[in-house]
A and B are shown apart, each in its own frame.
Chain A
């Protein structure tokens, strides 16, 4: 189908983009979620502002004990970046598995977080790594931990006039990995789990088991308390109540969380 009538502008600077968003335009990042939604008329923004021409939103660089990733950096760039692969492997690995090559060539890390699809892989990977975002709006700039950014299905704590400008990934995430299960090559994950084993212990987060990326606190506390991986796997689903749907029942998804947490932990440990 054809998107409904819209007014398109291409921002050439962050200030231009912020002004357009403040005036009501919908930000268009890689468009890999928004464009299909517009074609299906699930979304019909009267105006969109294309962020693809804003140079300060693209790029990856070291900044102290963090890696600063511009919000418009593509999945492909994140997946192939040596810094991210070394320090935050869970994020590079999740980015390498998003959709297909054509989708990774356009889709962006900031777009994935702002869209907040409950089956998106990157939010879980970034949460497992302990990442955060920098956002800017008319109230200035602020930093939000990824765990506080996504609040429910397709919903974030961003204000109407705020844009994610950067994703901050810790260099101290330690050994980390991402494991997911999906039925066919480019399908959304039914469940995905990111695990990092850093100086502050194990962090784990999952998607597909709630309305947002969920920390696997029982899994973490067993391992951080010196318990066995088997016990951690057995308790991984504690406190979670995923909805049963066409992808599988509640019990099946809880089973997957344990299996995938175990796989991600084993892979991270061996890295």
Chain B
């Protein structure tokens, strides 16, 4: 079964005919060519596909694209504006918050979720918000340091 959907992605409305079984992550990567959102597992475990749906962090591999019809999705591609890195991207760069980078888009979107909803989040709250994002380079210390630094920077600005 096919269905026409309109999803606002990073502020732009996209209308497309999709198979009803298509996952949101495939819609983002293959229909819209937004390949910043990664697919790391088949079991809702890794968090690489984390995006925001109407402002809440969700796993785009565990939602059908048709479930996002009429709703707003925000992906990692929304962060950089006019060649200027977002504070969270700068913080990951400055604090060596990534090695291979595969988990990074999901990490950043989960981090942004907690920073935006709890501007004064403690390190424990940051760690809790990142529980669903796995890093196989074992860079968690630097990732938490990156998010801490971005949260402080965003609170100042």
Contact B58 A106 (CB under 8 A): yes
Q: Say yes or no: B1 contacts A102, CB within 8 Å.
A: no
Known pairs A52-B67, A99-B132; A3 contacts B59 (CB<8 A): no
Produce 1/0 per residue, B68-97, CB < 8 A to A.
000000000000000000000000000000
Q: Which residue of B lies closest to A6 (CB)?
A: B21
Contacting residues, chain B, for A211 (C-beta < 8 A): none
Which residues of chain A are near B26, meaning CB under 8 Å? Answer: 2
A101–B132 alpha-carbon span in the complex (Å): 7
Q: With A2-B21, A3-B21, A6-B21 known to touch, is A102 a contact of B50 (CB < 8 Å)?
A: yes
Tell me which residues across on chain B come within 8 A of A3, comparing CB atoms.
21, 23, 64
0/1 per residue, A1-38, Cβ < 8 Å to B?
11111111010000000000000000000011001100
Question: For the complex, what is the distance from the CA of A52 to the CA of B56, rounded to whole Å?
Answer: 15
- B131 / chain A contacts, CB cutoff of 8 Å: 100-101, 185-186
Instruction: Flag whether B15 is at the interface (Cβ < 8 A).
Output: no
> How far, in whole Å, are A50 and B61 apart by their CA atoms in the complex?
16
Contacts of A39 in B (CB 8 A): 23, 42, 61-62
- Tally A residues with Cβ within 8 Å of B: 26
Are the CB atoms of A8 and B64 closer together than 8 Å? yes
Is B110 engaged at the interface, CB distance under 8 Å to the other chain?
Answer: yes
Q: A39-B23, A100-B132, A186-B131 are in contact. Are A105 and B1 (CB under 8 A)?
A: no
Specify which chain A residues have a CB less than 8 angstroms from the CB of B67 in the assembled complex: 10, 31, 50, 52
- Residue in A8, A10, A101, A106 whose CB lies within 8 Å of B129: A101
User: Judging by beta carbons under 8 Å apart, are A32 and B21 in contact?
Assistant: no
For the complex, give the distance between the alpha carbons of A53 and B22 in Å. 19
Chain A residues with CB under 8 A of B110: 101-102
- Write the nearest CB–CB distance from B60 to chain A, whole angstroms: 10
CB under 8 Å from chain A, chain B span 45-69: 45, 47, 50, 56-59, 61-64, 66-67
A residues less than 8 Å from B142 (CB atoms): none
- Which residues of chain A come closer than 8 Å to B3, judged between CB atoms? 8
Interface centre among A35, A101, A105, A185 (most CB of B within 10 A): A101
Bitwise interface map of B from 15 to 59 toward A, beta carbon under 8 Å scored 1, else 0: 000011111001000000000000000111101001000001111
**B20 and A6 form a contact (CB under 8 A):** yes
Residues of B within 8 A of A5 (CB): 1, 19, 21
Q: Is B124 an interface residue (CB 8 A)?
A: no
Please give, as numbers and ranges, the residues of chain B lying within 8 Å of A32 by CB-CB distance.
44, 62
* A31 and B62 within 8 A (CB): yes
A106: chain B residues at CB < 8 Å are: 58-59, 62-63
A243 at the interface (CB under 8 A from B): no
> CB of A103 within 8 A of chain B?
yes
Report the nearest A residue to B114, measured CB to CB: A101
Minimum distance in angstroms from B6 CB to a CB of chain A:
14
Inter-chain contact A102/B59, CB cutoff 8 Å: yes
The reply on B113 being an interface residue by CB < 8 A is yes
A191 to chain B, nearest CB (A): 20
- Whether B62 and A35, one on each chain, are in contact in the complex, defined by CB atoms closer than 8 angstroms, is yes
Task: Give chain A residues whose Cβ lies under 8 Å from the Cβ of B133.
Answer: 100
Give the residue among A3, A4, A6, A106 with the most B Cβ atoms within 10 A: A106
Given A1-B42, A39-B42, A8-B1 contact (CB < 8 Å): yes
Closest 7 CB pairs of A and B: A100-B132, A8-B20, A185-B131, A35-B62, A100-B131, A3-B21, A105-B56
